[in-house]
């Protein structure tokens, strides 16, 4: 059995291979395991480094052993880094392949649906139908135009004559308004009194009466 078969839990030759989703899930689990291993090795490397520093001058043997262990841990860490890179690349490739598979599946499904929708369609019949629709739309537009056109019942009027008549009416109305503003021309006079006024003697007659009285007085005096 191959390495990938062991990782994915595949069966023998006649066994069915894992689905892309199952393989992606297994790779993610492996990534999590290796990441934890990395964190463990990093802590061990730091511990061994502290031991080597602590015993560098006091116990040289212990310091050298700590550095050897540190080197082994670093080698394992480097291997895990390489393995993680390989697994990440494979997981991304599987995810892309899975996405492409889904896309192609949906595109194929849509193509079948479109084929089914067009199965009973004839392009010549479609062209004829569209031509009929265009003709009917043009006919409907002509009918609408004819209905909306004003009907004069055979009577036609000169628009210039109508405008001239309208101007005359407006001028008459304007003159009428000006007369009303200026006031009426003929104002009625008050009636003459019917009763007669008392007569007054004229001044000449009074003077003549006075002269006669004066002459009569003079004669009497003589």
- Whole-number Cα distances in Å, 213 to 108, 144, 171, 208, 209: 157, 117, 78, 9, 6
pLDDT at 2: 47
- Min mean pLDDT across 49-53, 96-100, 164-168, 214-218 is at 214-218
- Whole-number Cα distances in Å, 138 to 73, 93, 126, 147: 86, 58, 18, 14
Backbone angles phi and psi of 89, in degrees to 5: -65, -45
What is the DSSP code (8-state) at residue 185? Answer: S
Which position has the higher pLDDT, 217 or 84? 84
Which domains can be identified in the chain, with CATH numbers?
A: 20-181 (1.10.287.1060)
Q: How far apart are CA 20 and CA 39, in angstroms?
A: 29
* pTM beyond 0.95, yes or no: no
User: 84 pLDDT band (50/70/90 cuts)?
Assistant: very high
């Amino acid at each position: 059995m191959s390495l990938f078969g062991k990782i994915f839990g595949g069966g023998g030759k006649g066994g069915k291979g894992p689905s892309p989703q199952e393989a992606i899930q297994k790779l993610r689990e492996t990534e999590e395991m290796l990441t934890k291993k990395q964190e463990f090795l990093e802590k061990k490397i730091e511990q061994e480094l502290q031991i080597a520093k602590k015993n560098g001058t006091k116990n040289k043997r212990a310091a050298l052993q700590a550095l050897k262990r540190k080197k082994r841990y670093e080698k394992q860490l480097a291997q895990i880094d390489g393995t993680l890179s390989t697994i990440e690349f494979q997981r991304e490739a599987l995810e892309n392949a899975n996405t492409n598979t889904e896309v192609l599946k949906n595109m194929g499904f849509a193509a079948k649906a479109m084929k089914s929708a067009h199965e009973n369609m004839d392009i010549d019949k479609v062209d004829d139908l569209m031509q009929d629709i265009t003709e009917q739309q043009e006919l409907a537009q002509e009918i609408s135009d004819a209905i909306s056109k004003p009907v004069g019942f055979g009577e036609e009027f000169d628009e210039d004559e109508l405008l001239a008549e309208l101007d005359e009416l407006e001028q008459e109305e304007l003159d009428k308004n000006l007369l009303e503003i200026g006031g009426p021309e003929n104002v009625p006079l008050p009636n003459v009194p019917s009763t007669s006024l008392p007569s007054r003697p004229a001044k000449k007659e009074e003077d003549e009466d006075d002269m006669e009285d004066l002459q009569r007085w003079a004669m009497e005096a003589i």
